[in-house]
Amino acid sequence: MAARCSLLAVRSEQPRPANREPVTVAVDILDEDHSLRLAMRRLATDPELRASLGQAGRRDWEREHSLPRMVEDYERVIAEAATTPAPRVRLPAHLVNDGDRLLNDTLAQFSLGSVWE
């Protein structure tokens, strides 16, 4: 496996994002007990791997989760939300009907208007 990884990986259907560094330590969820034990032992006995994993993790955090990145993401999402029209939501009848529909329909038959007029 390649060195200088920023994460413990789990075998899944999710593709690895293109901007992530290669995986150094992998955990197979189908054999989690054994593979996690091997990964932890490898990290415990290899100071260079621990250091490179820590450095890569820090770089990943700075690239993906730092305050400047968070501000950039918020600004992008807010700008996108501001230019996106709000969806038209139709409420279910029990939330629209205020309980006097039958009364108003009856009054309308006699041209009496609404209860609230």
53-87: pLDDT as tens digits = 888 889 888 888 899 999 999 999 999 999 999 88
Does residue 117 lie in a domain region? Answer: no
Does residue 32 lie in a domain region? Answer: yes
Domain carrying residue 39:
1-112
Does residue 102 lie in a domain region? Answer: yes
Q: How many domains does the chain have?
A: 1
Q: In a 3-state reduction of DSSP, which class is residue 8?
A: strand
Q: Say how far apart CA 4 and CA 54 lie, in whole Å.
A: 8
Q: Say how far apart CA 49 and CA 15 lie, in whole Å.
A: 24
Query: What are the helix and strand counts (H, E) for the chain?
Result: 5, 2
The pTM is what?
0.45
Residues of the chain with pLDDT under 70: 1-25, 97-99, 113-117
φ, ψ (nearest 5 deg) of residue 62? -60, -35
Does residue 53 lie in a domain region? Answer: yes
Residues 6+ apart with CB under 8 A from 52: 3, 4, 5, 24
Does residue 97 lie in a domain region? Answer: yes
Does residue 88 lie in a domain region? Answer: yes
Are 30 and 15 in contact by the 8 Å Cβ rule? The answer is no
